[in-house]
């Protein structure tokens, strides 16, 4: 199974991603060996991933960012954040990607362990994922960045040079010669051999110059083949992802993709998800294994304590059950040891055993130090202390039984506690497996034309649009405002242009809502005002024609003729999820407009809460209602500045 991109893969992906040139870097994230760029492109948001030693492509599998950004993250954000991508290149035919952003270049080394290095305009290293030293170059701060030693580029090699390289080691098999001499890897060497019509194991010495010309031509053709991105499956499992159709995979199950980036993302994204699933429960599984081992030890301990408790209890009971015998033995042993001494007592017991004396045969041990004799009674060994009475001897065993009972009870409590912890861990593992992974696949639908603007649907069902900035203000008025629409604008400098589509059929409610939207989406909101004025006019009153001697910048227009004013409009909006044009959208609009399309909404107005905090609170409420909304999507629809939540309905 493929685990990293080849030089050929990089050639194709770099060519495919040229459309990203000119995109703005909104944010940079770093986690482990991965760096992800959140880009603002001409097509909308895009996430570009660069993983050291592995891959480079657009991704929809978004990993949850670490709570604490690394120092590498902060350096990348400092130098690259807000910049624009000026170039995306492959270094020669190596597994090296270069992304130039302003005065800096991010270099991704995708071979072996890999690395990601930031260099400045003088090619000096600013930061790196890993600082390392090799015999021919060093990756360390302020050092000049050097590429690894150059290898032959199959795209630039002439046929004459190709011939010389092939003839250097004529004993080599064709596939080995291609892979070793021309920096392409075994798979593509095999593909070229197959396309040229030769067995991959054919020794080079058996090929004529004409044969090698065929190989050379196929090599050039292969690396310039028409893209046909696909994932190759083997026995139902993903095996490879390639940018072109390959003969070596004829007959294999394949899944084709519109772009190579999508194919790479699906392939590596699935691998990332699988790794994330394993990582998510790894620590819990380790803890579970530890608890299970503890549980087994505790079970053995419990069995031991239970056995000792039972045996001592039985011996105590046995002493009382054989009261007369034990009393007699204690008396006889006591007298004998006092009269004869312990050594003579032992000798007489040994002699008695030889002659078959019943009492002597019962004795299994003599302990002069403790003044005790161990006898066997009903198959059990009973140690009798001669200086103690029968009752005291029995009590010794009852006390031992009691101690083992306490130990058993303590061990049982610990066992039950371990068992409870194990059940909790198993429950946590189950919950973790059900829980969303820290890697999510963003399903990107094609954006509708009106989503380029701020927008809402009025309570009467009319589409209302507003510009987001100078560019969208310009586009809205010039391209999308038609004769049967209405134009609205707040009496606030820099306020957005607002257009009611088909507005001349709209009632007073829609016009009021559109003008309220105009004042709420202006800087009046960030200034903390609770009301402002706005007006509406007809499209033929709005023009780019400036008064004599004046110039209208991008997004600015003149309004001539009568303006229909509305005074003291409240700055108050609501956030909710509405269904429009067959799809669900999270929308921020005047309260009455939202209210008409959903029964769950959050009312907001200007306030002291920072926008980021407000976004988090809104996101939390929407999540409780079953809507998973990204922070950036909420940021995009809210008015400028902070605010406060006035009411939650639903």
What tens digit of pLDDT does each residue of 50-82 get?
Answer: 999 999 999 988 877 787 889 999 999 999 999
Q: Phi first, then psi: what are they for 532, rounded to 5°?
A: -160, 170
Report pLDDT digits (tens) over 503-539. Answer: 999 999 999 999 999 999 999 999 999 999 999 999 9
On the question of pLDDT at 432 being above 90, the answer is: no
Q: What angle do CA 75, 438, 24 make, to 5 degrees?
A: 40
pLDDT at 564 over 60: yes
Bridge partners, 241 (sequence order): 231
pTM for the structure as a whole:
0.56
- 3-class secondary structure, 95: coil
Instruction: Give, as one character, the DSSP assignment of residue 488.
Output: E
pLDDT band at 427 (very low <50, low <70, confident <90, very high): confident
User: For residues 510 and 26, what is the distance between their CA atoms, to the nearest angstrom?
Assistant: 35
- How far apart are alpha carbons 153 and 96 in whole angstroms? 13
pLDDT of residue 271: 81
Burial 231-247 (b: 16+ CB within 10 A, else e): bbeeeeebbbbbbbebe
pLDDT digits (tens, 9 = 90+) for 308-330: 999 999 999 999 999 999 999 99
Q: Strand 558-559 vs strand 61-63: parallel, antiparallel, or unpaired?
A: unpaired
> Confidence band (pLDDT; 50, 70, 90) for 150?
confident
Contact 602, 647 (CB under 8 A): yes
Strands 531-537 and 564-570: antiparallel
User: Is the model's pLDDT at 244 over the cut of 90?
Assistant: yes
Q: Which residues of 554-564 are buried (b: 16+ CB within 10 A; e: fewer)?
A: ebbbebeeeee
Strand partners, 602: 575, 648
Percent of the chain with pLDDT over 70: 97
pLDDT at 460 over 90: yes
C-alpha 127/C-alpha 298 separation (Å) is 53
Tell me, what's the pLDDT at 433?
64
pLDDT value at residue 437: 46
Closest CA to 529 of 642, 648, 646, 618: 642
Instruction: Provide the terminal-to-terminal Cα distance of the chain, rounded to the nearest Å.
Output: 50
Q: Which residues, other chains included, contact 630 with Cβ-Cβ below 8 Å and sequence gap of 6+?
A: none
The Cα 615–Cα 640 span in angstroms is 12
If DSSP codes are grouped into helix, strand and coil, which group holds residue 494?
Answer: coil
How many angstroms separate the most distant Cα atoms in the chain?
142
Residue 648: band (very low, low, confident or very high) from pLDDT cuts 50, 70, 90: very high
**Strand, helix or coil at 505?**
helix
Query: Is the pLDDT confidence value at 570 over 80?
Result: yes
Task: Tell me how long the chain is.
Answer: 650
Minimal CA–CA distance to 149: which of 191, 97, 91, 236?
A: 91
Quick one: pLDDT at residue 285? Answer: 85
Q: What DSSP string describes 246-279?
A: -GGGTTSEEEE-SSHHHHHHHHHHHHHHHHHHHH
With contact defined as beta carbons under 8 Å apart, do 563 and 593 qualify?
no
318, two tokens: 């046995």
* pLDDT for residue 434: 62
Q: What average pLDDT does the segment 462-483 reach? A: 93
Helix (H) or strand (E) holding 633: helix 631-637
Which of 97, 95, 91 has its CA nearest to residue 111? Answer: 95
The pLDDT of residue 152: 87
Residue 413 predicted with pLDDT over 60: yes
pLDDT in tens, 88-108: 999 999 999 999 999 999 999
Lowest average pLDDT, out of 7-16, 436-445, 469-478, 617-626, goes to 436-445
For residue 347, pLDDT over 50 is answered with: yes
Q: What is the pLDDT of residue 604?
A: 96
Angle between helices 260-321 and 7-16 (to 10 degrees): 120
Average pLDDT value over all residues in the chain: 91
Phi/psi at 439 (nearest 5 deg)?
-115, 120
pLDDT per residue as tens digits for the range 350-404: 999 999 999 999 999 999 999 999 999 999 999 999 999 999 999 999 999 999 9
Question: pLDDT (tens digit, 9 = 90+) per residue, 469-479?
Answer: 888 999 999 99
| Residue 441 confidence class, pLDDT cut points 50, 70, 90 | low
Q: Is there a contact between 522 and 494 (Cβ–Cβ < 8 Å)?
A: yes
Instruction: Tell which residue, 520, 528, 523, has the closest CA to residue 498.
Output: 520
pLDDT at site 44: 76
Q: What is the mean pLDDT of residues 442-463?
A: 84
Is residue 391 helix, strand or coil?
helix
Q: How far apart are CA 142 and CA 8, in angstroms?
A: 32
Report, as an integer, the average pLDDT of 176-205.
Answer: 92
Range 259-263, long-range pairs (CB < 8 A, 24+ positions)? 259/16, 259/229, 260/9, 260/12, 260/13, 260/16, 260/57, 260/227, 260/229, 261/13, 261/16, 261/17, 261/57, 261/58, 262/58, 262/229, 263/229, 263/230, 263/231
Give CA–CA dist 40/468, Å, rounded.
14
**Mean pLDDT to the nearest integer, 463-474:** 92
């Amino acid at each position: 199974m493929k685990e990293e991109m080849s030089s050929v893969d990089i050639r194709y992906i770099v060519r495919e991603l040229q459309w990203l040139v000119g995109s703005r870097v909104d944010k940079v994230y770093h986690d482990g060996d991965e760096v992800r760029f959140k880009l603002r492109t001409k097509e909308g948001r895009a996430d570009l991933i660069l993983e050291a030693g592995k891959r480079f492509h657009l991704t929809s599998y978004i990993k949850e960012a670490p709570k604490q950004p690394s120092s590498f993250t902060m350096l990348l954000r400092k130098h690259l954040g807000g910049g624009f991508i000026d170039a995306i290149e492959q270094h020669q035919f190596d597994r090296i990607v270069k992304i130039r952003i302003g005065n800096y270049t991010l270099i991704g080394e995708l071979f072996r362990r890999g690395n990601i290095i930031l260099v400045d305009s003088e090619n000096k290293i600013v930061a790196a994922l890993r600082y390392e030293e090799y015999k021919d170059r060093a990756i360390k701060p302020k050092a000049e960045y050097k590429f690894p030693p150059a290898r032959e580029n199959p795209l630039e090699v002439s046929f004459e040079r190709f011939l010389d390289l092939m003839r250097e080691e004529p004993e080599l098999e064709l596939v080995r010669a291609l892979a070793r001499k021309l920096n392409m890897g075994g798979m593509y060497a095999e593909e070229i051999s197959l396309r040229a019509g030769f067995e991959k194991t054919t020794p080079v010495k058996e090929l004529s110059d004409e044969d090698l010309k065929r190989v050379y031509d196929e090599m050039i053709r292969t690396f310039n083949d028409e893209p046909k991105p696909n994932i190759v499956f083997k026995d139902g499992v993903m095996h490879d992802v390639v940018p072109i159709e390959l003969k070596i995979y004829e007959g294999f199950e394949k899944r084709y993709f519109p772009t190579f980036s999508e194919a790479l993302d699906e392939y590596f994204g699935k691998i990332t998800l699988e790794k994330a699933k394993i990582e998510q429960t790894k620590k819990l599984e380790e803890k579970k294994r530890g608890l299970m081992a503890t549980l087994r030890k505790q079970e053995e301990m419990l069995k031991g304590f239970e056995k000792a408790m039972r045996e001592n209890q039985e011996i105590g009971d046995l002493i009382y059950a054989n009261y007369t015998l034990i009393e007699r033995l204690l008396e006889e042993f006591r007298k004998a040891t006092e009269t004869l001494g312990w050594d003579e007592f032992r000798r007489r017991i040994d002699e008695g055993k030889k002659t078959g004396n019943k009492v002597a045969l019962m004795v299994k041990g003599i302990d002069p130090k403790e003044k005790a004799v161990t006898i066997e009674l009903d198959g059990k060994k009973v140690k009798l202390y001669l200086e103690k009475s029968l009752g005291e001897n029995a009590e010794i065993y009852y006390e031992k039984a009691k101690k083992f009972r306490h130990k058993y009870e303590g061990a049982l409590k610990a066992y039950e506690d371990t068992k409870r912890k194990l059940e909790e861990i198993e429950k946590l593992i189950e919950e973790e497996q059900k829980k969303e992974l820290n890697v999510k696949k963003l399903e990107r639908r094609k954006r509708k034309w009106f989503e380029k603007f701020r927008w809402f649907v009025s309570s009467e069902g009319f589409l209302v649009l507003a510009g987001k900035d100078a560019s969208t203000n310009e586009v809205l008025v010039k391209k999308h405002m038609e004769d049967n629409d209405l134009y609205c604008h707040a009496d606030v400098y820099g306020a957005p242009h607002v257009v009611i589509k088909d507005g001349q059929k709209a009632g007073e409610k829609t016009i009021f809502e559109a003008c309220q939207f105009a004042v709420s989406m202006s800087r009046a909101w960030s200034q903390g005002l609770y009301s402002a004025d706005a007006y509406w006019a007809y499209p033929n009153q709005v023009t780019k024609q400036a008064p004599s001697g004046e110039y209208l910048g991008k997004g600015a227009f003149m309004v001539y003729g009568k303006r229909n004013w509305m005074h003291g409009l409240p700055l108050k909006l609501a956030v909710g999820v509405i269904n429009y044009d067959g799809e669900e959208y999270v929308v921020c609009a005047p309260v009455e407009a939202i209210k008409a399309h959903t029964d769950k909404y959050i009312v907001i107005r200007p306030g002291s809460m920072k926008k980021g905090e407000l976004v988090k609170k809104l996101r939390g409420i929407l999540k409780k209602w079953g809507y998973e909304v990204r922070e950036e999507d909420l940021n995009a629809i809210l008015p400028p500045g902070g605010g406060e939540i006035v009411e939650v309905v639903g």
